[in-house]
């Protein structure tokens, strides 16, 4: 199972369990909370009515009832009042209090009853908890189910003592069925479930977004690590938190490894490249110790000078390439006029081209600009022109052209020389890989380059976000630089 699915599944499991337990607790608390609020209101109601019935109960004969008392008439009037109330969108059309009064012995002397239920006047209620506890001086309340297995049939009873001074003359009890508030309870439960489900959905969405961000960040790190493994020059992804610190640590590790591999490879290649000119210099120097004719001495002296120049050029190009390879990006890219870069490179190579008897022809389709470093672009073009001039036959023309291809500028340099074998094409641009130059008049052997010129070109173009392509021009070689237009 992939990381994203594991994280998302774990989040859903934890979130689902927490939501289930939370909703169960909320729903379980609705009914008790409603009962508590109802009981509080009924306590106030019972005590108010106890004060109102006190005088009527005090005047009642010992064996009489309150059926004909003003209090009884007012309670009956209350029960018969028409009602159509809207309570937060829910309709209430009945008055649901039952009120009964007992004397000091617990005998019912008044009972308003529920709608359609028989009166309990004359019945002994002294054993009911609400009456018994109140007559004993304690708080009296009870809840009785009309159907034992159905909680919705429960009726709450709250009693208050009817006093004359410190004497308890009787008990007034207010009763209210739980079914009368069931619609409010059901609505509250529905609201909790609906809002809980919405909250669960929102939290699931947040979890999915967080998981998506985490997976996206990890995949960026994976792509970066895979690119480094393949030898690509990539900048570490910029991430926040611990993942960002990990990316920076990976980048630092990559740079350290690259630095070590770079030095090792450079030393091996440099040793190989330096061997030939150093051998030539050492041989010429040894021969110069002997007594030689002036002509031979001149030849060997010139050989030492030629190889010294070759060594100097090798070191200079190697240093330049090393600097380019350690640059991740252009520090301050500016708007570059490519046409101006081509003319500047042509002017810089003019003397060498003239020396070799080669012309440089520049063809510019239209003015174009890119974002980059003009000095580096001119260096890349100069290296390409130097290579092309080396391979161009005397009297030939090197073609330097600029054209547009979609959103890219294409710079091409073509010579008409011996070209490059097909097997060698993929290796063009590698450090120290080069093909033998044609024999120049006055030289006995072909001149072999260092292989650093095209490597420098490739590094510069990659810094500009472009690519280098090589193609057989038959005859000769065409090199194309493709760079995004600004």
Average pLDDT score over residue span 90-96: 80
Q: 53-69: string of b/e by CB count within 10 Å (b at 16+)? A: bbebbeebeeeebbeeb
Report the C-alpha gap between 109 and 111 in whole angstroms: 7
Q: What is the pLDDT of residue 65?
A: 92
Largest alpha-carbon pair distance within the chain? 162
Q: What is the pLDDT of residue 146?
A: 78
**281-305: per-residue pLDDT in tens?**
777 677 777 777 777 677 777 767 7
- Maximum mean pLDDT: which of 21-30, 85-94, 117-126, 130-139: 130-139
Contact assessment for residue 50 and residue 172, using Cβ atoms and an 8 Å cutoff: yes
Report the C-alpha gap between 481 and 466 in whole angstroms: 7
Mean pLDDT lowest for which of 91-100, 436-445, 459-468?
436-445
pTM score, two decimals? Answer: 0.45
Q: What is the pLDDT of residue 26?
A: 62
Q: What is the pLDDT of residue 446?
A: 43
Q: What are phi and psi of 414, to 5 degrees?
A: -130, 135
Report the C-alpha gap between 71 and 460 in whole angstroms: 105
Assess whether pLDDT exceeds 50 at residue 445: no
Q: What is the pLDDT of residue 116?
A: 64
Q: What is the pLDDT of residue 102?
A: 95
Q: What is the pLDDT of residue 323?
A: 62
Assess whether pLDDT exceeds 70 at residue 189: yes
Which residues, in sequence order, are CB contacts of 210 under 8 Å at separation 6+?
Answer: 11
Start-to-end CA distance of the chain, whole Å, equals: 44
Q: What is the pLDDT of residue 159?
A: 96
Assess whether pLDDT exceeds 60 at residue 439: no
Q: What is the pLDDT of residue 281?
A: 75
Mean pLDDT lowest for which of 174-188, 206-220, 392-406, 411-425?
206-220
The band of 475, judged by pLDDT with boundaries at 50, 70 and 90, is confident
Number of H helices and number of E strands within the chain?
Answer: 9, 14
- DSSP per residue, 355-372: HHT-EEEEEESS--EEEE
Q: With CA atoms as reference, report the closest residue to 447 among 392, 405, 391.
A: 391
Instruction: Give whole-number Cα distances, 393 to 247, 341, 389, 416, in Å.
Output: 52, 25, 8, 7
Average pLDDT score over residue span 342-347: 89
Both tokens of residue 96? 């649901």
Assess whether pLDDT exceeds 60 at residue 125: yes
Mean pLDDT computed over every residue of the chain: 80
- DSSP code at position 250: H
Assess whether pLDDT exceeds 80 at residue 266: no
To 5 degrees, how large is the angle CA 166–CA 167–CA 172? Answer: 110
Q: What is the pLDDT of residue 6?
A: 66
Total residue length of the chain: 486
Assess whether pLDDT exceeds 80 at residue 463: yes
């Amino acid at each position: 199972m992939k990381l994203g699915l594991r994280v998302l599944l774990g989040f859903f499991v934890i979130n689902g369990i927490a939501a289930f337990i939370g909703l169960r607790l909320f729903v379980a608390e609705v009914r008790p909370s409603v009962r508590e609020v109802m009981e509080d209101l009924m306590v106030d109601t019972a005590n108010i009515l106890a004060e109102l019935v006190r005088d009527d109960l005090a005047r009642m004969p010992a064996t009489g009832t309150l059926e004909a008392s003003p209090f009884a008439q007012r309670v009956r009037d209350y029960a018969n009042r028409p009602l159509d109330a809207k309570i937060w969108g829910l309709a209430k059309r009945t008055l649901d209090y039952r009120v009964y009064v007992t004397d000091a012995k617990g005998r019912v002397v008044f009972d308003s009853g529920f709608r359609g239920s028989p009166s309990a006047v004359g019945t002994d209620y002294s054993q009911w908890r609400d009456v018994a506890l109140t007559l004993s001086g304690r708080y009296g309340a009870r809840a009785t189910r009309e159907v034992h297995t159905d909680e919705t049939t429960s009726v709450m009873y709250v009693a208050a003592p009817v006093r004359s001074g410190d004497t308890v003359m009787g008990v007034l009890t207010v009763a209210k069925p739980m079914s009368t508030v069931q619609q409010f309870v059901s609505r509250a439960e529905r609201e909790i479930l609906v809002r809980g489900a919405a909250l669960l959905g929102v939290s699931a969405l947040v979890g999915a977004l967080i998981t998506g961000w985490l997976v996206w960040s990890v995949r960026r790190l994976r792509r970066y690590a895979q690119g480094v493994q393949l030898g690509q020059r990539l900048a570490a992804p910029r991430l926040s938190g611990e993942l960002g610190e990990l990316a920076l640590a990976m980048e630092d590790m990559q740079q350290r490894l690259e630095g070590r591999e770079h030095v090792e490879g450079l030393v091996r290649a440099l040793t190989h490249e330096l061997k030939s000119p150093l051998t030539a210099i050492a041989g010429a120097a040894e021969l110069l110790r002997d007594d030689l004719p002036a002509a031979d001495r001149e030849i060997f002296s010139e050989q030492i000078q030629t190889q010294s120049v070759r060594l100097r050029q090798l070191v200079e190009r190697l240093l330049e390439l090393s600097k380019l390879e350690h640059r991740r990006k252009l520090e301050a890219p500016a708007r570059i006029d490519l046409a101006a870069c081509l003319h500047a490179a042509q002017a810089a190579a003019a003397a060498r081209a003239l020396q070799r008897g080669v012309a440089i022809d520049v063809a510019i389709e239209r003015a174009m600009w890119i974002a980059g470093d003009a000095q580096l672009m001119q260096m890349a073009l100069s290296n390409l022109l130097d290579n092309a001039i080396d391979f161009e036959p005397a009297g030939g023309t090197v073609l330097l052209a600029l054209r547009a291809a979609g959103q890219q500028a294409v710079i091409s340099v073509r010579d008409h020389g011996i070209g490059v074998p097909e097997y060698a094409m993929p290796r063009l641009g590698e450090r120290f890989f080069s093909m033998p130059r044609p024999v120049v008049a006055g030289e006995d052997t072909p001149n072999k380059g260092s292989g650093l010129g095209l490597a420098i070109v490739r590094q510069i173009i990659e810094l500009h976000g472009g690519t280098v392509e090589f193609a057989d021009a038959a005859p000769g070689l065409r090199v194309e630089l493709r760079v995004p237009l600004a």
